[in-house]
Amino acid sequence: MTPEARRELDKRHSEALSLAMNQTVNPNKTYSAKLFRIAVHVRRGDKVALHEARPVSASRFIAALKTIADQLNPPDNKTSSKGDDGVVYLVHLFTDGAEVLQEFKDALQAPEAAGLFGNSTVHLDFRFAGYRPDKGFDETLVNEAFWQLLVDLKMMVESDAFLGSQSSNVGVTACYLRVHHRCFNVEHRTLSWHPANSKVA
């Protein structure tokens, strides 16, 4: 990547992250604990429509998020004193399915999710993946889609944890780029995904 391209990527990434923070985390509220960023990639679109992979339900992702949250902030480290707002989890939700955001909101509000994250707060940053222009070849659209993909991958790599599936090329790519970071596979029951040796354990 050229220095100019690197600067452009860093600029776009910084703008996207600032927007996510401003839109999801209350800037006027003082949080008493750390904020964790978790990147979640949910593959739908043609992958599911063409029956190449089965869709993973939002409830399974939420259950996986709980496991990740406990690893990022173990129960022994959590405080329950009066007035403590708990840990804040900013979930960057990357998907090519427009319906996914509402599915996640519904799953978080479902009875079985009640109290799942204790007194912590979960914020959803919805990032729709428009990587495939559907109205023929347009150089401007393709160029913007390319930059969006790079920015999304950078956010996935640099978040505190990443949750995806091995049925998605984007998910696999993000996990390989995160060799020294926490990475989880929602399609495996233990949720632990080790990209260095391409195995789940």
The whole-number pLDDT of residue 155 equals: 92
Q: Among 42-51, 62-71, 118-127, 128-137, which is the least confidently predicted range? A: 128-137
Mean pLDDT of 46-64: 80
Is residue 22 predicted with pLDDT exceeding 60? yes
pLDDT at res. 76: 65
Average pLDDT over residues 9-19: 92
Q: Of residues 104 and 118, which shows the higher confidence score?
A: 104
Please give the structure tokens belonging to residue 54: 């089965």
- The 10 Å Cβ neighbour count of residue 84 is 14
Strands (E) located in 14-129: 35-42, 88-95, 121-128
The pLDDT > 90 percentage for the chain reads 17
Pick from 31-40, 164-173, 185-194: least confident: 185-194
pLDDT at 14 over 90: yes
So where are the chain's domains?
Answer: 32-77+85-200
CA 67 from centroid of its chain's CA atoms: 14
Residue 124: which of 14, 44, 40, 11 has the closest Cα? 40
Q: Which CATH code for domain 32-77+85-200?
A: 3.40.50
pTM of the model: 0.79
**pLDDT tens readout for residues 135-170:** 555 677 778 888 999 999 999 998 988 888 777 888
As a whole number of angstroms, the distance between CA 101 and CA 94 comes to 9
Lowest mean pLDDT among 75-89, 99-113, 146-160: 75-89
Highest mean pLDDT among 2-11, 18-27, 186-195: 2-11
Q: How does strand 199-200 pair with strand 193-194?
A: antiparallel
Categorize the per-residue pLDDT at 28 as very low, low, confident or very high, splitting at 50, 70 and 90: low
Q: What is the 3-state secondary structure (H, E, C) of 38-71?
A: EEEEECCHHHHHCCCCCCCCHHHHHHHHHHHHHH
Average pLDDT score over the chain: 77
The 10 Å CB-count burial string (b at 16+, else e) for 35-51 is ebbbbbbbbbbebbeee
What's the average model confidence in pLDDT over 109-118?
82
pLDDT score of 88 more than 80: yes
- Let me know: does 123 contact 89? Beta carbons within 8 Å: yes
Q: Which tokens sit at 63?
A: 């259950």
